[in-house]
């Protein structure tokens, strides 16, 4: 009997079920032994407390198009991994104990940066762990792509597309806030795909004067409206110069709901133009996975299953240069993949006339 544990940890995304399906179908079709799957409920919390479902291959039928996660998810911050739970339960010892109690041969962790740091910790503790790169933010180190990202781009791009007609009709400036707290992959791709005039991301601090200049130039060129796409974690040059403590204090003192409202108020006050805010929010995590996302998620699941069949572990499934590969968990844990301000896409966006607010 081959016993495989699976859990989905951190923020949800559209392709978690499709990835698990890829693991299960590959093992079911290629393993010579009977396979039993243990689906832990609500992420690492399920592994700690022994909340799991014993599952078979038919339980994963029909999941290719279903968003979210049938196992549920929760956040277990890595920086608190050695702190006991409120009831006194020691997290890492409890997870190790449950893994051994169920006699698991491998644990598949579908998660982003924090979840994969915990996966690496469990691997260092002697458990057979395989990581799969889940995050709409595409900020996981060691892979060109994460599942969830393609679907989030599609949804964010549609939001930008849909705003164009109302912005044009009323001759307004629209500030569209796209998910991206620490990195700007989604707003960058959605902004380019949706024809934004200004894209503001955390990796490129902006100057409000340059944002206003870009809007003015668009109007001078005969346009009735302007689209500003801003990442939720975008910073002005003044904010980027602050210490982490000072920046947190600034955020705590804000009365506006988010950066989009701050920026909209500033643009309206300085330019005298009519400005509106649009925030697609958690719709970017929801719904069915896109076709591209389904394919990539399936590839990730297949590669993880191949590793299990080979008796390999301690790696994260990745795609580098268009090819599926395996990257040691120890090499990616704790690292964040940022947008390179000198990357091809940023340079090409600038060539189109898109402003990043820095020049």
Q: Closest Cα partner for 134 from 67, 58, 40?
A: 67
CA distance 166 to 272: 19
Helix (H) or strand (E) holding 329: helix 329-332
Name the helix (H) or strand (E) containing 185: helix 185-193
Q: Are 4 and 284 in contact (CB under 8 A)?
A: no
**Among all residues, which ones are annotated catalytic?**
137
- Residues 302, 79 contacting (CB under 8 angstroms): no
Pairing mode, strands 323-328 and 315-320: antiparallel
d(CA 151, CA 168): 26
Tell the residue number behind the tokens 């003192």, with chain if given.
253
Q: Which residues neighbour 214 within 8 Å (Cβ) at sequence distance 6 or greater? A: 197, 198, 226, 355, 357
């Amino acid at each position: 009997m081959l016993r495989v544990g699976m859990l989905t940890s951190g923020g949800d995304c559209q392709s978690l079920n499709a990835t698990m399906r890829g693991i299960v179908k590959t093992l079911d079709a290629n393993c010579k032994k009977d396979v039993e799957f243990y689906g832990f409920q609500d992420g690492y919390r399920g592994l700690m407390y022994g909340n799991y479902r014993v599952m078979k291959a038919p339980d994963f039928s029909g999941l290719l198009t279903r968003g979210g996660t049938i196992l549920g998810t929760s956040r277990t911050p890595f920086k608190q991994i050695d702190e006991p739970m409120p009831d006194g339960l020691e997290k890492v010892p409890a997870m190790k104990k449950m893994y051994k109690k169920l006699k698991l041969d491998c644990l598949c962790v579908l998660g982003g940066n924090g979840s994969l740091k915990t996966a690496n910790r469990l691997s260092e503790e002697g458990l057979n762990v395989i990581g799969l790169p889940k995050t709409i933010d595409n900020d996981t180190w060691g892979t060109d792509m994460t599942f969830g990202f393609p679907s989030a781009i599609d949804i964010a791009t549609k939001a930008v597309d849909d705003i164009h007609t109302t912005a044009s009709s009323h001759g307004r400036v629209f500030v569209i806030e796209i998910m991206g707290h620490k990195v700007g992959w989604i707003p960058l791709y959605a902004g380019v795909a949706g024809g934004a005039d200004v894209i503001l991301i955390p990796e490129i601090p902006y100057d409000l004067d340059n944002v206003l200049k870009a809007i003015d130039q668009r109007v001078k060129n005969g346009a009735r409206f302007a689209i500003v796409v801003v990442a939720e974690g975008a910073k002005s040059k003044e904010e980027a110069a602050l210490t982490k403590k000072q920046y947190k204090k600034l955020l705590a003192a804000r009365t506006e709901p988010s950066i989009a409202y701050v920026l909209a108020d500033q643009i309206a006050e300085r330019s005298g133009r009519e400005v509106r805010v649009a925030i697609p929010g958690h719709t970017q995590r929801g719904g069915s996975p896109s076709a591209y996302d389904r394919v990539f998620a399936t590839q990730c699941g297949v590669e993880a299953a191949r590793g299990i069949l080979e008796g390999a572990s301690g790696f994260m499934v990745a795609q580098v240069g268009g090819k599926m590969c395996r990257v040691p968990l120890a090499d990616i844990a704790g690292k964040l993949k940022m947008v390179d301000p000198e990357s091809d896409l940023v340079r090409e966006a600038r060539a189109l006339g898109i402003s990043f607010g820095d020049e």
